[in-house]
Amino acid sequence: MSGVLVVTGGSRGIGAACARLGGERGYKVCVNYRSRADRAQEVVEHIQQAGSSAIAVQADVSTDDGATALFAAVDAELGPVTALFNNAGTILQQGLVSECSADELDWLWRTNVTSQFLCAREAVRRMSTSQGGSGGAIVNMSSVHSRIGAPGAFVSYAASKGAIDTFTQGLALEVVDQGIRVNAVRPGVIDTEIHALGGDPDRPKNIGPSLPMGRAGTPEEVAQTVLWLLSDEASYVVNAVVDIGGGR
């Protein structure tokens, strides 16, 4: 593989796994992060040791200024983006809809939905063959929660990912004739730090045995699918949402 890969939220978890694998497979990689510079630098060093180029760029991609600055930095240091993993996201503490607040929801929507719109906007402006680009591929981060609703725990998160499913469909059909393929992945229970943000750090260990495959997934397993969707091996795959849930 070759080209420039931008991974938002790339300092840990699934984003970090995707950034590392992308570098190992020949991409020049931008590791975007919001607050963990140390973790982002570890990912960059791994990619550099694998023989590829990488940079870490701090930016809050849920804002216009942050998304614009991120892609400007990539242009200057790596070249125009050819692949985007729209991964930045978060989750609220487990709770009922009757307990949610507008401030929490505003923050969740900005992080999980607005960020993907803004980063896709910047990527399309650079990839679109109708705007002088040479095409590219985008993979959005959804979740199996968008299918199951997550009642009694994470309805807000599920709703934000349902928006990403719809966004993926609309964007895919909007830009397919501009040389851009857009797809999404829907991971299930994956062993990452996001569960601590939701208030249950042991959730993968506790839920894993009840899943059809008998275990939680790993970030690396998700990264394999993301890199395939970004690659020419998936050249006829557009507007797909790929479940990575171990049968869930």
- Look at residue 220 in the predicted model and tell me its pLDDT: 97
Quick one: average pLDDT of 99-118?
Answer: 97
| Mean pLDDT value across the chain | 95
Q: 3-state DSSP call for residue 140?
A: strand
Q: Residue 215 has what pLDDT?
A: 94
Q: Does residue 137 surpass a pLDDT of 70?
A: yes
Q: What's the confidence (pLDDT) of residue 93?
A: 87
Asked if residue 246 has pLDDT above 80, the reply is yes
**Each residue's pLDDT tens digit, 1-42:** 689 999 999 999 999 999 999 999 999 999 999 989 999 999
Task: Tell me the HSE value of 150 on the side-chain side, using a 13 A CA sphere.
Answer: 24
pLDDT at residue 150 greater than cutoff 70: yes
DSSP alpha helices (H): ranges in the chain? 13-24, 37-49, 64-77, 102-109, 115-127, 145-148, 155-175, 194-197, 203-207, 219-230
Clarify whether 157 is annotated catalytic: yes
Range of lowest pLDDT (59-68, 116-125, 135-144, 147-156): 147-156
Q: Is the pLDDT of residue 194 over 90?
A: no
**What pLDDT is attached to residue 1?**
67
Annotated active-site residue in 27, 33, 157, 236:
157
| Whether domain 4-244 has CATH 3.30.930.10 | no
Quick one: pLDDT band at residue 192, thresholds 50, 70, 90? confident
Going by C-beta distance under 8 Å and a sequence separation of 6 or more, which residues neighbour residue 76?
A: none
Contact 189, 214 (CB under 8 A): no
Domain extents in the chain? 4-244
Section 98-110 average pLDDT: 96
